[in-house]
């Protein structure tokens, strides 16, 4: 690992950060305030959503300071693919096996609802963030995987436990036709969104600052006393809260922007695509199958100044949780400290509502069970005591752990 576990200062440049907002390197006051009721660590989608909910419909908000190691939204949120793609079917069978039907269905419904929360927010606040409500299209090109996903989907549909009315599945010839992807053997479409995440986050931060929040980018800058500390520090969380070591692991991911040359007309893509592991691979972000076998590229890495195998692209640090569920709520055994992290490369459809749950616990004493956040997301001592690490168990292919 080239960095010391904190965000590095020479990160790769993501496309989303090429048109910077006036608050990108903002410091509301020249000096760090000596104290603040609430300190939020991290100014990505998690930190900005927490700040947004604290001020939403709140006539007497507490004082809030947001600390950001680099520029605002310079972490994973400023480096992802811009997709807000709920998982409404893919992992549901796995979660049923692991957590039972009720919990699995709760997670899927929670994911699906957030796209509409963001749509409503964008419309209400007239946010210029290129948000488009669309259909996602998961395309499977590998024969074995296509059959497996087809069988699993039919079984799930027959069971009648999950809400699949928004999911359309095509298998065989129709998959190619529906997806428009040559060689597609199976595909699934469902409601999703895509947006320019940096613009959304900066809008939320600006809104909070206008209502009294103090944003301090480019820390460290001294000391601050706080009654409550909210960890929205994603893959870097374990560095400041060591109980999350091996539970929220920094994992490096990759993304790219492809611009067709001027002589070619870019085809209209009706969907937000995911292409799953076929012989012909288009590398538009993800591309895990290419580098996943060597974990030294990605596991426990906080250095987003280097690329993985390719050029003209950028990297970002995700916070993978060892059981693939985020850690939300009070940090076990640490009163006054709360966490919203570990979204395992899938935070866009989960963070906004989870942040609302944390703020309701914080400001109104709401019990976790009453927040509407799936119970399996709760940060518990039991999860921290577990030594299981599902990340290295090869959820995305065989991993050579000897390379760690
Ligand atoms: C390449 C890539 C592809 C992705 N693809 C998808 C996808 O397809 N779908 C999806 O839903 N999600 C995807 N994600 C994940 C998604 O971007 C994250 O889940 C989400 O952005 C996490 O938001 P966050 O605010 O928790 O973390 P971040 O955006 O990482 O924000 C955390 C912030 O905390 C700051 N920080 C950390 N430690 C400290 C400290 N000690 N002091 C001060 N500041 C600190 C960091 O600098 C950072 O700005 C992808 C991520 C990457 C990198």
Q: Ligand 1 atom closest to Cα of 47?
A: 25
CA 61 to chain centre: 27
**pLDDT of 1 above 60:** no
Rounded CA-CA distance 331/326 in Å is 12
**Which residue, by CA, sits nearest to atom 12 of ligand 1?**
346
Q: What is the mean pLDDT of residues 126-149?
A: 94
With cut-offs at 50, 70 and 90, classify the pLDDT of residue 124: very high
Q: Ligand 1 atom closest to Cα of 72?
A: 49
| DSSP structure class, residue 268 | P
Q: Would you state the pLDDT for residue 324? A: 96
Torsion, CA 49, CA 50, CA 53, CA 59, rounded to 10: -140
**pLDDT of 396 above 60:** no
70 in contact with ligand 1, CB cutoff 6 A: yes
**pLDDT of 16 above 50:** yes
* DSSP characters over 201-213: HHHHHHHHHHTT-
Q: Would you state the pLDDT for residue 282? A: 47
pLDDT in tens, 293-312: 777 777 888 888 776 555 46
230 in contact with ligand 1, CB cutoff 6 A: no
231 in contact with ligand 1, CB cutoff 6 A: no
**pLDDT of 353 above 70:** yes
215 in contact with ligand 1, CB cutoff 6 A: no
pTM of the model: 0.93
Q: Would you state the pLDDT for residue 123? A: 98
**pLDDT of 285 above 50:** no
Q: Would you state the pLDDT for residue 276? A: 77
Buried b (16+ CB within 10 A) or exposed e, 356-395: bbbbbbbeeeeebeebbbbebbbbbeebbeeeebebbeee
Q: What is the mean pLDDT of residues 6-22?
A: 94
Q: At what angle do helices 351-364 and 101-125 cross, to 10 degrees?
A: 90
393 Cα: distance to centroid of ligand 1 (angstroms): 23
247 in contact with ligand 1, CB cutoff 6 A: no
Higher pLDDT, 289 or 86: 86
* DSSP characters over 177-197: HHH--TT--EEEEEEEEE--H
Q: Give SS3 for 31.
A: coil
Cis before residue 220, ω within 30 degrees of 0? yes
| DSSP structure class, residue 233 | -
Neighbours of 397 (CB within 10 A): 12
Q: What is the mean pLDDT of residues 48-74?
A: 97
What are 276's strand-pairing partners? Answer: 140
pLDDT in tens, 192-236: 999 999 999 999 999 999 999 999 999 987 899 999 999 999 999
**pLDDT of 4 above 90:** no
With cut-offs at 50, 70 and 90, classify the pLDDT of residue 275: confident
Of the candidates 40, 158, 115, 1, the residue with the CA atom closest to the CA atom of residue 349: 115
- Residue 352's Cβ-side half-sphere holds a number of Cα atoms within 13 Å equal to 22
Which residue matches tokens 């529906």?
Answer: 178
**pLDDT of 32 above 50:** yes
- Please give the span between the terminal C-alpha atoms of the chain, in angstroms, as a whole number: 10
Q: Would you state the pLDDT for residue 260? A: 66
Asked if residue 299 lies in contact with residue 404, where contact means CB atoms within 8 angstroms, the answer is yes
156 Cα: distance to centroid of ligand 1 (angstroms): 31
CA angle 81, 17, 310 (to 5 degrees): 55
Q: What is the mean pLDDT of residues 373-390?
A: 97
pLDDT in tens, 357-370: 999 999 999 999 99
What mean pLDDT value characterizes the chain? 90
Q: Would you state the pLDDT for residue 402? A: 63
- Provide the token pair at 379: 């940060």
**pLDDT of 314 above 50:** yes
Q: What is the mean pLDDT of residues 162-172?
A: 95
Rounded CA-CA distance 125/128 in Å is 9
With cut-offs at 50, 70 and 90, classify the pLDDT of residue 119: very high
37 Cα: distance to centroid of ligand 1 (angstroms): 24
Q: Would you state the pLDDT for residue 222? A: 86
Q: What percent of the chain has pLDDT over 90?
A: 78
- Provide the token pair at 253: 């991911």
Q: What is the mean pLDDT of residues 276-302?
A: 63
Alpha helices in 45-195 (DSSP H): 45-55, 92-99, 101-125, 143-159, 173-179
**pLDDT of 265 above 90:** no
């Amino acid at each position: 690992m080239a960095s010391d576990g904190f965000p590095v200062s020479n990160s790769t440049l993501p496309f989303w950060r090429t048109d910077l907002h006036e608050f990108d390197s903002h410091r509301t006051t020249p000096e760090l305030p000596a104290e603040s009721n609430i300190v939020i660590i991290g100014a990505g989608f998690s930190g900005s959503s927490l700040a947004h909910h604290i001020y939403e419909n709140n006539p007497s908000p507490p004082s809030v300071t947001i600390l950001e190691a680099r520029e605002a939204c310079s972490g994973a949120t400023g480096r992802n693919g811009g997709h807000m793609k709920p998982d409404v079917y893919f992992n549901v069978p796995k979660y049923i096996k692991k957590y039972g039907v009720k919990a699995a269905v709760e997670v899927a419904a929670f994911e699906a609802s957030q796209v509409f929360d963001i749509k409503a927010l964008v419309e209400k606040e007239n946010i210029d963030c290129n948000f488009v409500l669309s259909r996602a299209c998961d395309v499977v090109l590998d024969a074995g995987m296509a059959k497996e996903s087809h069988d699993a989907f039919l079984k799930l549909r027959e069971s009648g436990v999950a809400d699949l009315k928004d999911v359309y599945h095509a298998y065989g010839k129709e998959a190619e036709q529906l997806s428009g992807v040559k060689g597609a053997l199976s595909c699934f479409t469902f409601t999703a969104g895509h947006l320019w995440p940096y613009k959304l986050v900066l809008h939320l931060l600006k809104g909070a600052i206008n209502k009294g929040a103090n944003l301090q980018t480019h820390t460290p800058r001294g000391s601050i006393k706080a009654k409550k500390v909210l960890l929205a520090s994603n893959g870097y969380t374990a560095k400041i809260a060591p109980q999350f070591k091996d539970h929220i692991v920094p994992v490096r991911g990759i993304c790219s922007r492809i611009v067709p040359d001027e002589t070619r007309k870019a085809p209209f893509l009706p969907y937000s695509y995911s292409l799953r592991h076929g012989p012909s691979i288009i590398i538009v972000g993800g591309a895990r199958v290419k580098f996943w076998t060597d974990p030294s590229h990605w596991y426990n890495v906080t250095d987003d100044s280097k690329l993985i195998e390719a050029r003209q692209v950028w990297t970002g640090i995700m916070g993978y949780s060892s059981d693939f569920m985020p850690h939300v709520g009070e940090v076990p055994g640490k009163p006054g400290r709360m966490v919203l992290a570990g979204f395992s490369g899938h935070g866009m459809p989960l963070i906004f509502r989870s942040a609302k749950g944390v703020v309701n616990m914080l400001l109104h004493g709401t019990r976790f069970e009453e927040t509407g956040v799936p119970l399996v997301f709760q940060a518990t001592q039991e999860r921290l005591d577990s030594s299981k690490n599902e990340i290295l168990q090869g959820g995305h292919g065989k991993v050579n752990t000897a390379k760690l």
